[in-house]
Structure 1
Amino acid sequence: MPTTLAAQLAALELGHLSINTDRGTRTLARPEPEAIDHTLAAVWSDLFALFTDTILEDQAEELGWGFVNLFHRAATKASTRIDRATDEIRLLLATADGSEVHTSELEQQVERAQDAEAEMLALENLRETAAFLYLAETGSSWRPAGGSRLSHDALTTSAVVQGREFLKARAEGKRRAAMPEGTPVVFAGGRQTFQTTDDAKAYGDAIWQTLDRVRANVADMVLVHGGDGKGADRLAASWAERHKVPQISFSLDTRLGARAGFRRNEQMLGLKPRYVVAFAGNGVLERLVIQAKERSIAVVDRRGPLGTNPKHHARVTSASMAG
């Protein structure tokens, strides 16, 4: 146990409960990862086989989202219990009088926090396994309806953090372990329509291949995007999920009206990204590219047809017409 109050508080600020208590026989093991994988895969397979060729088939994706959300909500509740117990621990440390009663109460609060933490980690493992099944089934990264999807366990997939939460945490100097650490790469692209399924597939492949190439140059890449549930952002988020790349999602602040998109640009560029990867979009996206170049940020330009480099596409088209 740390010998000074300052040391104890510092340990808590780092998010680690370092006070040792004798937990006796109460310690329970977390479910084995292999057991989680096999069990949830079996449940998922049986559940969606039930929907096939029935009136519920069109609802399968929404029901799958809800299946993942069961574990997310439970993990969030456990996280809340950790916060409450930690507040109690801080209060007890600040009012320590050295008495046996006080020490016993402190140990009980630490034990509650440790139990809640173990529950949270187990539930997050369940959620991340279910989220991977959702990705395999729908091709989309699972995201909660509100807030962030944080993964505190190194064995789970990467964190998906809402941008405003990330900026607030950084401003307050509270770098939580779950917050993405690494080199930001901004991805931007709007919603597109395609004449054929092959065109849509080619566009999706272009996004994944481009991000593969960028990641080859940025090993500790953190993907920063707008969090749109459809279109290019969705494809980029799915790529990040598949490759376990951390994500920071800057959704639009609708309170700002027409300024929302430009404000999001400022926030994303404020992270000082290594690259801006740009696919076709609207005027707000075009402004993002201009601002990135003004700040000497390298732009990977894929705003041409089906995610091609526009200059390269123009040269090929010109050569084809000349021939």
Structure 2
Amino acid sequence: MYDSFASQLAGLDLSGFSITPAPFNESDFPCEDAMAHTLGAVWSDLFALFHDTALEADAEDLAWGFVNLFHRAASRKSVQVDRASDEIRALLASADGSEVHSSNLEEQMLRAQSAEASMFAFEQMREVAAGLYRDETGSSWKPVSGSRARHSKTMTSAVIDARDFLRVRNERRQAAHSPEGTPVVFAGGRNRFESEADAKTYAANIWATLDKVRDVVPDLFLVHGGDGKGADRLAASWAERHEVQQLTFGLERRLGARAGFKRNEQMLALNPRYVVAFPGNGVTERLVIEAKKQRITVVDRRGPLGSCPG
């Protein structure tokens, strides 16, 4: 049977035929309401399964992995766009005006546009899932490595010139990694509390303080150390709930004991409007001292449970 089918294929005249990506449009992808409804239902059913069981302790890890599924899918599509973009650059450099060259260029453009549209869809799904993760755990979701950039949702199907596509692609990539607005630095450490009520009071003080700062600086973007625990975690959760962009400065471990002070220098180099300080260690104390030296206004909440110090 196989030999017969293969011989029939061999006898076909396939000249003039080529396999190209199928054309697409925005209606080919799930709408935002469908994403929110479906992912919310899956999330609810999945974690209800673990409630009050021996697996409940593992729920947060599973929640992180659920979001990461869509993050990885978006990353793979981004790689495909990059590869197609490289092909477009090469074709532009070797343009000879022939019909074959033009056809190849159009095909790579379609591949790039299709992959980018899929990337946007997976990023939307990741953001929906990240919101569910935040509501479940109280923490802002972030990948193990790299950043959680979100590109413009605008489709590239309207782009008809390859050079324009490359320019727009570059602009989107820069915009996804470059927050716009007025920087506000947030700093605080990890704290232990005597009761759950104290922990809730501390969190409420962080969020209330950031609310007040945002009232004064509506276009703020939040600059912090990106610690997955303690004050940074609470500030990141506030920023995500209010759709405030974040810029995180991780520690350069190779610097050893100087890593925290180097990070202070980097954050203050942004010339922030405010430095918001909650209880922390000596690095936080030094950040406050340096900010005052540079005449940067410090919103000092280093008192008990994140109140104004006495």
Superposition TM-score tier, normalisation by shorter sequence: 0.7 to 0.9
Q: 1:77 to 1:176 in 2, by over 3 A?
A: same
Go from structure 1 to structure 2 and tell me whether the alpha carbon gap of 1:187 and 1:152 turns closer, same or farther (over 3 Å shift). Answer: same
Overall identity of the aligned pairs, in %: 66
Distance 1:53 1:226 in 2: 34
Q: What residue ranges of structure 1 are gaps of 5+ in the alignment? A: 1-22, 156-171, 315-323
Identify the residue that residue 204 of structure 1 maps to in structure 2: 203
Alignment of 1:26-37 (within 5 A): 26-27=24-25, 29-37=28-36
Spell out the pairing of 1:82-97 with structure 2 (5 A cutoff): 82-97=81-96
Letter in 2 for 1:244: E
Q: Please identify, of 145-154 and 244-253, the stretch whose mean Cα deviation from structure 2 is larger.
A: 145-154
| Alignment correspondent of 1:3 | none
1:57 maps to 2:56: yes
Aligned Cα RMSD in Å?
Answer: 2.0
Give me the TM-score of the superposition, normalised by structure 2: 0.85
Change (3 A) 1:148 1:284: same
**In structure 2, how many angstroms separate the alpha carbons of the residues matched to 1:226 and 1:200?**
20
Task: Determine if contact 2:120/2:153 at 8 Å carries over to the other structure.
Answer: no
- Residue 175 (structure 2) pairs with residue 177 (structure 1): yes
The 5-angstrom pairing of residues 76-115 of structure 1 reads 76-115=75-114
Describe the superposition over 1:168-223 as per-residue Cα deviations: whole angstroms up to 9, x where unpaired: xxxx9997121211111110000011111111111100000000000111111100
* Structure 1 residue runs of 4 or more that deviate by more than 3 Å after TM superposition: 23-28, 172-175
Quick one: distance in 1 between partners of 2:121 and 2:137? 24
Matched, 1:148 2:147: yes
Provide the residue aligned with 2:301 in structure 1.
302
* Structure 1 CA distance for aligned equivalents of residues 173 and 151 of structure 2: 13
1:84 deviates by 1.4
Structure 2 alignment gaps of length 5 or more: 1-20, 155-169
Residue 220 of structure 1 corresponds to 219
- Aligned pairs for 1:1-323 (under 5 A) are 25-27=23-25, 29-153=28-152, 176-178=174-176, 179-310=178-309, 314=310
Judged with a 3 Å threshold, the aligned counterparts in structure 2 of structure 1 residues 234 and 67 are, in CA distance, closer, same or farther, namely same
Q: Please identify the structure whose Cα radius of gyration is greater.
A: 2
Going from structure 1 to structure 2, the CA distance change for 1:249 and 1:41 (only over 3 Å counts) comes to same
The secondary structure found in structure 1 opposite 2:76 is: helix
What CA deviation, in whole Å up to 9, does each residue of 1:211-246 have, x standing for no partner? 000011111110011011100000000000111100
Q: How many residues align?
A: 274
